[in-house]
Chains A and B, each alone.
Chain A
Amino acid sequence: GAVVSQHPSRVICKSGTSVKIECRSLDFQATTMFWYRQFPKKSLMLMATSNEGSKATYEQGVEKDKFLINHASLTLSTLTVTSAHPEDSSFYICSARETDDSPLHFGNGTRLTVT
């Protein structure tokens, strides 16, 4: 149980375009979803937290107009990287939590490459 599906797993886009990443909890309802970013050989960096039906809470230094997060339902959150630039190239990972005291369950990540 507790499967989180993330799509796409890999995307290459041109500079200036936007990319949407989907995160779905397949067998549970997730009241809270988290978006992380990871650079090679580095740890995960929390970007934002989203609760269903409300605005996402962004961490310091993360541009909310650049990284648009929508948590439209209890099983789906999306991250849209707008006007992507090469420095946005990274590994983006979502996670979901079923209840307040349950552990995070992670998707398999999305490798974004901006050319």
Chain B
Amino acid sequence: LAKTTQPISMDSYEGQEVNITCSHNNIATNDYITWYQQFPSQGPRFIIQGYKTKVTNEVASLFIPADRKSSTLSLPRVSLSDTAVYYCLVGGAGANNLFFGTGTRLTVIP
């Protein structure tokens, strides 16, 4: 079971790039890394998923070093609407023990 550790909170100004790092030192060989965004009183929303190296989609990039013991979610040019809690989730294909860590509360400042 790969436990995750993230910073509790981060602040950023509008228009800046934000990088949120998640540590998962005991990640297993078949574990994927998935990031979610959650707004108050809503369910989490899928952002991006990766296994190794770099993944990019229309909203974010995910960087995973070779040892896979950490991952970094990169949000380009954040806006006020990106203020939310971001969670990284580590789990293998077919795994049912999908536990969330503390998440990172990102506050975007005008």
Residues of B69-110 whose CB lies within 8 A of A: 87, 89, 93-94, 96-103
A100 to B45: give the CA distance in the assembly, Å.
18
Tell me if A's interface is mostly helix, strand, loop or mixed.
Answer: strand
Could you say which of A2, A6, A49, A103 contacts B43, with CB atoms under 8 Å apart? A6
Which of A13-21, A63-71, A78-86, A106-114 lies at the binding interface?
Answer: A106-114
Pairwise interchain contact B43-A106, C-beta atoms closer than 8 A: yes
A sample of 25 cross-chain residue pairs with beta-carbon separation below 8 angstroms, ordered by A number, consists of A32-B96, A34-B98, A43-B87, A43-B100, A43-B102, A44-B100, A45-B100, A46-B97, A49-B96, A94-B43, A95-B43, A100-B93, A100-B94, A101-B94, A103-B34, A104-B34, A104-B44, A104-B46, A104-B89, A105-B46, A106-B36, A108-B43, A109-B42, A109-B43, A111-B41
Flag if B34 contacts A44 (CB, 8 Å): no
Taking CB atoms, residues of chain B closer than 8 Å to A93 are: 43-44
Closest to A32 in B: B96
Inside 8 A of A104's CB, which chain B residues have their CB?
34, 36, 44, 46, 89, 98
Contacts of A2 in B (CB 8 A): 46
A91 at interface, CB cutoff 8 A: yes
Chain B 40-79 against A: per-residue CB contact (8 Å), 1 yes, 0 no? 0111111001000000000000000000000000000000
CA of A44 to CA of B41, assembled, Å: 12
B5-32 Cβ-contact flags toward A at 8 Å (1 or 0): 0000000000000000000000000001
